[in-house]
Structure 1
Amino acid sequence: MLFNSWVFIGAFLPVTLGVYRLLALRPDPRLPLLWLTLASLFFYGWWNPSHVPLLLASVLFNHAAGAKLAALSRAPAGSTRPLLALGVTVNLLLIGYFKYSVFMLDNVGALAGIDFGIRAMVLPLGISFFTFQQIAYLVDAAEGGSADYGLADYCLFVAFFPQLIAGPIVHHKDLMPQFGRPENLRFSHEGFALGLAFFTVGLWKKVVLADQLATYAAPVFGAAATHALTAAEAWTGALAYSLQLYFDFSGYSDMAVGLGLLFGVRLPFNFNSPYQATDIIDFWRRWHITLSEFLRDYLYIRLGGNRHGKARRYLNLFLTMVLGGLWHGAGWTFIAWGALHGVYLIVNHGWRALRSRMGLRKGGLRKGGLREGGLGSGTRGGIWFGRGLTFLCVTVAWVFFRATSLDGAFAMLHAMTGANGWTAGPVELGSVADLFAYRHEILIASLLAVCMLAPNSQAWLLGAAGAERKGLLPRWRFTPLWAGVAACCFLFTLTRLTSVSEFIYFNF
C-alpha cells in the first residue's frame, strides 16, 4: 500500500486514524497502541501477506536478543560479544539471503561459467530499513543503552507504518519513549493541522513534481545504452532524475513526518535542503540524514573512524560509502555510486586538511567523522562555487544510481561530456510555441532554483528562522486562509492520482 494511492488516502488512513483517536479517549493507553500495531501489520501485508510472518519473526528474535543483551551488559565486560555477534549475523543473513544472494550467485556463476538457474526473488518491503533499525537496537542493548521495552512497544517501534517501508531509520531512543505518553495520545488541533500540512506538501512533491520529472528522466536513461544521446539530452535526463529523486524521497519523508504527527508521534526529518550543500561532507549532513547517522555511528566509527591515522581514516570512509551503496541495492551500479561518494569524501577531507595546514581557514574543524563541518570560504562567491560543484558531483554520481547497468551509466556520462554533440540542432526561441518546446528544460531550471534557494518543508511549515530570512515563501500559519490553500493543493493533487507510482526507495 502506497501513501499516494486512493486505498490509503480514502480508506486505510481515515479508518486507522479514526479508530486510534476513539481508543485514545479510553483510560487504557494500551488499546490505541495495540490497534496501531495491528493496522501497521495490515499495511505491511497489503503488498505481500506472506512477508508478515517474516517481519514478526525478525521482531521476536531481535526483541528476545535485545533483552538478553541488556541483561548481559551489566555483567563483566565481553560477555555480550557472542550473543551480539549472533544477533547481527542473523540480521545480515536475513537481508543477505533476500537481497544479495541472487546477485552474488550471478557474479560467481559468470566468473565460473556456471548458470545456477536462480532468478530474482521478491524482496520483502522495507527489509533494509527495519534490519538496520534492529541492528542499532542490538548494539545499543549490548552497550547498556536500551531500556526494558515490552514486546508490544517493540513491535510497534519496528512496524510503525509511516516509517516502515522507506524510513526514516528511527532510533529506538527517539521513538519508543513517545508511545503511550498521555500528551501524545491527546488530540492536538495544532499537531493535526501540521500533520496534514506535511502530508499535503509531501504528496504534492511526489505526485505533481517527482512523477512528472520521471517522464523526462526515464526515456533518456532507457535510450542511453542504445542511442548516441546529445549532451543536451543526457544532461536533461540526468538533471531531471536528480530532481525526481529529491522530490520523490523528500516527499515520502514529509508524508511520513505528517502521518506521525497525526498519531501524536514525532519522526525525525530526513532532509535539510541537500542541494544547498557547499561540499560533499555537508551534503551527507543533509541528505538521508538518518542513514548518514547510522553509517557514522554503527559502521564508520566501528571500523575505527579517524582514530588510527589519515590513511586508515580514508579507507574507513571509502568502505563505509561502498557498503552504504550496497545497502541501497544489489548491483554494481550501486557499488559504483557508493565508491564514487567515498572518493568524493576522501578528496573533500584531504582538501580541508590542506586548507587547514596552509592557514586559509579561520577557526577549527568540527569533529564527527562523516559529518564534519562545511566547505569553506565564507564569501558569497565561494559558497555558490561550492554549492554548484557539489551539485555537479552529486548529479554525476546519480547517473550510476539510476542506470540499470554500468554500460548504461558510462554511456550517459559519455554523452554528458559532449562526445556525441551538444544539441540536435540550433536553438531558436522566436515565439511562444518555441519556448513551450523547451518546457522540460524550463521546468528543470525552475525546480533547481527552488532546491537551491527556497527554504525546505520543515523551515517553512515550522516557521524556522531560515524561511523568514530567505523570504522566498510566505510564512505558513495556522489560519483559515492557509487551511484553504492546503485544501486546494490537496484536492488538486488528488486529481493527478490517475495512476499509482512507487516511491524510488519503496523496495530498497
Structure 2
Amino acid sequence: MLILASIVFYGYWDFRLIPLLVTSVIINWFLSWALQSSLQKLTVIIGILVNLGIIGVFKYADFFSESFAWLQGDTHQSLNIILPLGISFFTFQQISYLVDRYKENAPLYNFRKYFLYVCFFPQLIAGPIVRHNEFIHQLKLSPLREGLYERLSRGATLLTIGLIKKVFFADTAAKIADPLFQSAEIAQLPFMDVWLATAAFTVQIYFDFSGYSDMAIGMAFMFGFTLPINFNAPYRALSIQDFWRRWHITLSHFLRDYLYIPMGGSRSGISRQMLALIITMFLGGLWHGAGWTFVVWGLMHGLALGLCTLWQTTNVQLPKTISWMTTLLFVMIAWILFRAPDFNVAMGMILSLVEVNQFGVTTGNYGANPFLLVIAAGAALMGPTSQKIALKSNYNTPFVAAPIALALILIIIQVGSQTHPDFIYFQF
C-alpha cells in the first residue's frame, strides 16, 4: 500500500516521471544484487556512473551545454528537459546503499523493502536523505504496535509545525524576498532594501526547508517510522563547521562519509584536509543547482570551512557573541548567491550591503509586513526546536490537542484561500 501510495504521490505532479523513478529503483536493486559477484569494484563504479549519468542528463545537460557554448563564444538554446522532483535525493540514497554494499556494510534487501526505502513518499522529493540502516530495519515493526496513539499525536503535531513554518513564515517571507530580488534584476537596490531582501530569504529558506523536513518526519512517525532529524537550530551556530552540523544534517553526513573522508578528511595533514573541504563543498554547491552561482556558493562555504580549520590550530577563542554574529553574517551574504539568478545581480546586491550612502528604500511597499521577520528570527534564534516540542515534550493532556487541531484547520483554510509557492528544494 505504501509503495502504491508513493508512486501515486510522485506521479501526481507529472505522471510521465514515474517510469524514471521505477527504472532507477530496479536498476539499482539489480546492481546491489550483482555486488555479490567477483566483479564488485566494476559493478559499484558502473552503479555510481549510471546514477550520476541520470542526474547529469536531467539536471545538468543544459548547464554543461550552456557553459561549453559560452567558452566557445556561442549561445545555447535550452533543451527544455523537465527536472524530475527529488531526483538528487532518491539518487543519493541509492548511491549510498551501493557504496555500503560494496564495503560490505549493508545486506541485500528484498525488492519490496528496497523499493519502499527509496520511494517512501514523505521524504521522497525533498529529503531527509535517509540511509538504508536508518529505515529498512523498521519494516519489521508493526505500525499498530504499542504507542500508536502517541506516534499519531506527536507526528500530527510535527506535521502541523512544519505547515506553520511553510505557510505562515516561509511563504510570507517570500512575499518580501521575491519582489526585491526581482527588482535587483532591473536596478541596483539601496542599502536597506538589500538587507531586507537578504534577511527575508534567510528566513524563507530556513522555514521552507526545515518545514518540509518536519512534515516528512511527522508523517513518517504517524506511519510508525522514525526518520533522521535534518535541522537543529542552524542559525544559532557559533562557527561555519557548527552550521553544517545543524543545517541539512543528512546531506552533511552524506558529503562527509562519501566524499570528504574518502578524499583523506583530516587524516592526511592540514593542506589535504582543506583541499578535501573545498572539493566537497564545491560538489555540494553543484548538487544544489545547475548554475555557477551555486558552485561559488559551495566554494565560499568550502573556503570558510578551511579557514575555520586553520583558525582552530591557533587555539584562539573568540567570544561566543562575535563567533555567532560572524557566522550568521557569512551565511546570510552567501544566501544572496544562492538566491540570485546570476552573478551580476548577486554582486550588485552584495556591494549594496555596504553602501551606506544609498541608505533609502525603493518604495517601502513590500508584499508583507517586514515585522514578520522579527518574529521569525525570534523563533529561529531563541525558540525551542520543533523536534523538542513535538517529539520530546511531555504533553499527555487533551488541552494540547485542541490548539493543535485548531492550528491545523487554520492552515488548511489558509492554504485553500491563496496560492503558495513550491518548496524551494523541489528544484534540487
Which TM-score tier does this pair reach, normalised by the shorter chain? over 0.9
In 1, the alpha carbon distance for the partners of 2:230 and 2:289 equals 19
In 1, the alpha carbon distance for the partners of 2:174 and 2:217 equals 24
Q: How big is the shift at 1:117?
A: 3.3
User: Is 1:336 the counterpart of 2:296 in the alignment?
Assistant: yes
What is the aligned partner in structure 2 of residue 456 from structure 1?
A: 385
In 1, the alpha carbon distance for the partners of 2:116 and 2:270 equals 42
The code of the aligned residue for 1:495 comes to I
Specify the structure having the higher radius of gyration (Cα): 1
What is the aligned partner in structure 2 of residue 489 from structure 1?
A: 407
User: Is 1:56 the counterpart of 2:25 in the alignment?
Assistant: no
Partner-residue secondary structure (3-state), 1:506: helix
In 2, the alpha carbon distance for the partners of 1:305 and 1:383 equals 27
User: Is 1:446 the counterpart of 2:375 in the alignment?
Assistant: yes
In 2, the alpha carbon distance for the partners of 1:104 and 1:419 equals 39
Q: Indicate if the aligned counterparts of 2:174 and 2:204 stay in contact, CA closer than 8 A.
A: yes
In 2, the alpha carbon distance for the partners of 1:212 and 1:476 equals 31
Distance 1:437 1:248, change over 3 A: closer
Q: How big is the shift at 1:186?
A: 6.5
Q: How big is the shift at 1:495?
A: 2.0
In 2, the alpha carbon distance for the partners of 1:340 and 1:137 equals 29
What is the aligned partner in structure 1 of residue 195 from structure 2?
A: 235
What is the aligned partner in structure 1 of residue 276 from structure 2?
A: 316
Q: How big is the shift at 1:443?
A: 2.2
Q: Could you tell me which runs of 5 or more consecutive residues in structure 1 were left unpaired when the two chains were aligned.
A: 1-34, 361-375, 428-435, 464-474
In 1, the alpha carbon distance for the partners of 2:344 and 2:354 equals 16
Distance 1:458 1:187, change over 3 A: closer
Q: How big is the shift at 1:111?
A: 1.6
* RMSD over aligned Cα atoms: 2.0
Q: Indicate if the aligned counterparts of 2:176 and 2:366 stay in contact, CA closer than 8 A.
A: no
Q: How big is the shift at 1:108?
A: 0.7
Q: Deviations over 1:339-378 (max 9, x none)?
A: 11011101111111112xxxx5xxxxxxxxxxxxxxx56x
Q: How big is the shift at 1:438?
A: 12
The code of the aligned residue for 1:291 comes to L
What is the aligned partner in structure 2 of residue 302 from structure 1?
A: 262
Q: How big is the shift at 1:383?
A: 1.9
The code of the aligned residue for 2:374 comes to A
What is the aligned partner in structure 2 of residue 130 from structure 1?
A: 90
Q: How big is the shift at 1:148?
A: 2.3
Distance 1:438 1:290, change over 3 A: closer
What is the aligned partner in structure 2 of residue 279 from structure 1?
A: 239
Q: How big is the shift at 1:439?
A: 7.6
Deviates more, 1:140-149 or 1:495-504: 495-504
In 2, the alpha carbon distance for the partners of 1:438 and 1:145 equals 51
Q: Identity, % of aligned pairs?
A: 41
The code of the aligned residue for 2:117 comes to F
Q: 1:27-426 maps to which residues of 2 (within 5 A)?
A: 35-69=1-35, 71-72=36-37, 79-182=39-142, 188-355=148-315, 360=316, 376=317, 382-418=319-355, 421-424=358-361
In 2, the alpha carbon distance for the partners of 1:411 and 1:225 equals 9
Deviates more, 1:490-499 or 1:411-420: 411-420
The code of the aligned residue for 1:488 comes to L
Q: Indicate if the aligned counterparts of 1:476 and 1:482 stay in contact, CA closer than 8 A.
A: no
In 2, the alpha carbon distance for the partners of 1:57 and 1:452 equals 43
The code of the aligned residue for 2:166 comes to K
The count of corresponding residues between Structure 1 and Structure 2 is 425
In 2, the alpha carbon distance for the partners of 1:123 and 1:185 equals 39
Q: How big is the shift at 1:59?
A: 0.5
In 2, the alpha carbon distance for the partners of 1:256 and 1:61 equals 26
Distance 1:115 1:227, change over 3 A: closer
Q: Could you tell me which runs of 5 or more consecutive residues in structure 2 were left unpaired when the two chains were aligned.
A: none
Q: Deviations over 1:240-282 (max 9, x none)?
A: 1000101000100000011001111111110000001101000
What is the aligned partner in structure 2 of residue 18 from structure 1?
A: none
Deviates more, 1:384-393 or 1:265-274: 384-393
Q: How big is the shift at 1:440?
A: 3.6
Q: Indicate if the aligned counterparts of 1:220 and 1:233 stay in contact, CA closer than 8 A.
A: yes
